[in-house]
Chains A and B, each alone.
Chain A
Amino acid sequence: MIELWNALPLVLQILLKIAAIVLPLLGLVAYYTYAERKVIGYIQVRIGPNRVGWRGWLQPIADAVKLMMKEIIIPTKADKTLFLMAPVIALAPALAAWAVFPFDEELVLADINAGLLYILALTSLGVYGIIIAGWSSNSKYALLGAMRSAAQIVSYEIAMGFALVGVLVAAGSLNLGDIVNAQAGHVFTWYWLPLLPLFGVYLISGVAETNRAPFDVAEGESEIVAGFHVEYSGMTFAIFFLAEYANMILVSALTALLFAGGWLSPLPQTLVDGVFLLDDGFHWLLLKTFFFMFLFLWFRATFPRYRYDQIMRLGWKVFIPITIVWILIVALAVIYKLPPWWSA
């Protein structure tokens, strides 16, 4: 098997690895939409989808088929090229960011030493899909949604970037694998504890960056119909949907990696060394990611939408000062080797 793998040309090997990341990711996106409808359903004392397949398990597939059969309508006087490019521009960064994501100690497509920076740069590109969609639709609701979204994403990117600066000060590295290894120990040596304010800021900014409730003013159904993608139908709409959910999974997985120890086991290594399922491994990362993904749904089901000026105040006047102060504190803690995180 290994010889066969090594005999393949490098390009083919990389393509196969990409497929091994993207295909499960798309499957996860499909079932994330199902989970969302079920979870929100139960939170609101409903059942949620239960008609297609056993307990509605085939609902995402039915949805996908429906969306593929639908007609793609292009509004009159819309900028046709940009209108069709926008969903692709929204989706591409959400998938490309996974290239540097370490799933395990060695399981990573591209182990580059500026991984965190790469992810930050790519996620900042996602906003183009939204802006271009809003502008090229030639519709005022779409344009309003794009405007709101651009201002919101640019604002929260600063708080998010500062929260990540705190992480890289703490870990002393931009490489995602090194950041996880720097948290080695047990559940209390993970960075969620010493970086607690940054953890909160990152999680909330992540919700705002992905335009999810309670920060979903870019869509704001009750105010501007569906915001930037109001003119999209069929597969073009579905790709925006895919991009949003892929981004949510990415933010959850990154939170798990940067603040919750990634693939590390919550118990001390001396206790679980070699013990089946308790030892470090990919399943821990998956479990943590699922937890943060669940939080996204929980937020959506229980919080009312923020007003626009409140969102801006939260981003600029609350989060950015918090992050700046905490970066200073973390820097001091690293210099003075505060135990147990930086004692070594």
Chain B
Amino acid sequence: MGFEKFLFYVFALITLWASGMVITRRNPVHSVLFLVLAFVTSAALWILLEAEFLGIVLVLVYVGAVMVLFLFVVMMLDIDLAALRAGFIRYLPLGAIVTLVMAIEIFLVVGSETFNLSAFPAPDAADSSLNNTRELGLLLYTVYLYPVEIAAVILLVAIVAAIRLTLRRRPENKYIDPARQVLVKKGIDRIRIVKMASEPFEKEDSA
């Protein structure tokens, strides 16, 4: 148990440190990379809790896909450090109020009768042969089928909306459609090779 606790503290400290760096780094690319570190160490914490499916999926979805797109956008920003620092004092009071409200909310939830730690006794450690993925899948697709389907539909609507926003006609854009390009046939659409009999060449008199 001692080694596990040690690992927990190591990962927890790295997570806290990385999260702190996310909001204190001036360069947004560094912030994003620290956020990646925070995600990876929280995944490690979940694996320590024997929730290996959640841990791996956190890395796969958030680190492998979402953060890559984040980085993609942030990388293209023209980073003006002075402008980033300018608003600090102006936004400080607002930020402090938001932080305070959030802290109170967390306290209310964790400290309340229904949600505090003693209301949920820690479960016994499961057998290591227990297949996390199978258990989760069985629950999601039987007991929680409707919530899963509703979440999927909401995501689908979001995808459709996002794609619709980018679909606009731009006549000046010389867009080429690769789907039509690959359908081009050799004879009809491209070059037509015309067979032609050679014609006699009439030699002009050089003299």
Contacts and interface: CB of A to CB of B under 8 A. Distances in A.
A114 B56 contact: yes
B46 to A, nearest CB: 12
B115 interface: no
B60 A120 contact: yes
Contact of A131 (B72, B181, B182): B72
Contact of B68 (A121, A128, A134, A309): A128
A19 interface: no
A122 B44 CA distance: 13
A174 interface: yes
Contact of A121 (B29, B33, B60, B181): B60
A154 interface: yes
B60 A117 contact: yes
B56 A117 contact: yes
Interface string A126-151: 01100110110000000100110011
Contacts of B29: 79, 82, 135
A132 B133 contact: no
Interface residues of A, number: 32
A313 B179 contact: yes
A131 B36 CA distance: 13
A146 B179 CA distance: 26
A50 interface: no
A112 B131 CA distance: 10
B86 interface: no
Interface string A310-323: 10010001000000
Contacts of B65: 124, 154, 157
A134 B129 CA distance: 43
B176 interface: yes
A93 B72 CA distance: 20
Interface in B27-42: 29, 33, 36
Contacts of B69: 150, 154
B52 A114 contact: yes
Interface string B45-82: 00000001100110110011100110110011000000
Contacts of A151: 72
A125 interface: yes
A341 to B, nearest CB: 21
A79 B131 CA distance: 43
A260 to B, nearest CB: 24
Given A135-B29, A154-B65, A128 B56 contact: no
Contacts of A124: 59-60, 63-65
A174 B71 contact: no
B64 to A, nearest CB: 3
Interface in A265-322: 307, 309-310, 313, 317
B116 interface: no
B112 interface: no
Interface string B97-137: 00000000000000000000000000000000101110000
Nearest to B131: A113
A62 to B, nearest CB: 36
Given A120-B60, A125-B64, A174-B133, A317 B179 contact: yes
A342 interface: no
7 contacts: A113-B52, A114-B56, A114-B132, A117-B56, A121-B63, A124-B59, A147-B72
Interface of A: 79, 82, 112-114, 117-118, 120-122, 124-125, 127-128, 131-132, 134-135, 143, 146-147, 150-151, 153-154, 157, 174, 307, 309-310, 313, 317
Given A127-B68, A154-B69, A313-B178, 13 more contacts: A82-B29, A113-B133, A120-B60, A121-B60, A124-B60, A125-B59, A128-B71, A131-B72, A131-B75, A143-B75, A147-B76, A150-B68, A150-B71
The 6 closest A-B pairs by CB, nearest first: A124-B64, A121-B60, A121-B59, A313-B178, A310-B178, A117-B56
